[in-house]
A = this chain, B = another copy of it.
C-alpha cells in the first residue's frame, strides 16, 4: 500500500453534477459565491458547469460567466462538462482549464444520455482533440468513463468493454481518463480490480475516481480505489442532487465526507473542514427544500482528528 502521506485531490462537482440534478436554477451570483468559498476552503479543482443547450439544462446556462469568475481565483483549475464538439468549442472560447467529456461504457446509457453509441462518442473525442490542437488552446481533455461499474438500464457492463473504451479514448486523444460509478452499483473489490486493470492500460493518465453513495458504499469504494493508487476523486458538497434513479437515496459522495475519510487516515487534501461545513450550510439555505446528504456534517468531527495546518 502507498504511504498515507501522498496528497489526494478532491474535485468539486456540485456546481455541475449537483445542480444539474435538481430542478431549480441557482442564481449566478450565488454560484460565484459558492465557487469563491470553495476556493477559500482549499478546493483547487472545480467543475463549474456544462456547455449543453440551455433548453436542456437551463440551470447551467450561465456556465461561461462562472468560468470567467473561476479564472480570477489563483491556482484554481476550472473544468466544464461538454457533451459534443459544439460544447467543446464553447469551452475553448470560455477559457476553461479543462473539459470533461462523458463516455458511457453502457451502450444503453450512451444512447439514452448522449444519443450516440460509445464508439460515436469516441470519434467525437478525436474531433475535439483535433480542434483544440488546431487552435493551440491549453484546455486539457479528460474523459469520464461513466457507468463503468454497471448501469440501471443495461445492468451488467463488461469489464472488457470498459477497458476497450478506455484505450479507445486515449487513442482518440484524451489526456486523462477517469472511471465513474454513475449509478452507485460498484463494490470495493470491483473497484480495486477495474482500476488495477485500468492502470495497466493508462498508467498515470487514469487519474480520477467518481463514486456515488446511492447504496452506502461510496466511501468504501473511494477507500478501495485509494488503496490501489487513485489520488483524485470527484465529490459534491452536501451530496446534493441525490440519485435520479432512486428517490430519497444519495448520489455523488459528499465532498466533506470524502475530505473526512482522508483526514481520518492522515492523508492531506488541503481542505478546511470548518469552511466546507459552513459553505454546506449556506448552499443548503440557497437550495431550501432539497435534501442534503452526507454524514460528517450531522455527526461532527471526532475529538481525535488531526486537522491539517492552515
Contacts and interface: CB of A to CB of B under 8 A. Distances in A.
Interface of A: 4, 150, 152, 155-156, 183-185, 187-190, 213-217, 219-220, 222-224, 243, 246, 248-250, 254, 257, 260-261, 264-266, 294-296, 298-304
A150 B305 CA distance: 10
A214 B261 contact: no
Given A156-B304, A189-B4, A223-B188, A295 B216 contact: yes
User: Taking chain A's interface residues, is the majority helix, strand, or loop, or is none over half, making it mixed?
Assistant: loop
B150 A216 contact: no
B295 A185 contact: no
A265 B223 contact: no
A304 B215 contact: no
Nearest to A261: B217
B243 A299 contact: yes
A225 to B, nearest CB: 11
A88 to B, nearest CB: 32
Contacts of A189: 4, 265-266
Given A243-B299, A299-B215, A304 B265 contact: no
A276 to B, nearest CB: 14
Nearest to A4: B189
Nearest to A224: B223
A296 B215 contact: yes
Given A265-B187, A298-B246, A155 B304 contact: yes
A295 B4 CA distance: 29
Given A187-B261, A190-B265, A249-B298, 18 more contacts: A150-B304, A155-B304, A183-B302, A184-B299, A185-B304, A187-B264, A188-B265, A215-B264, A216-B257, A216-B261, A216-B295, A219-B219, A219-B220, A220-B222, A220-B261, A223-B224, A246-B300, A250-B295
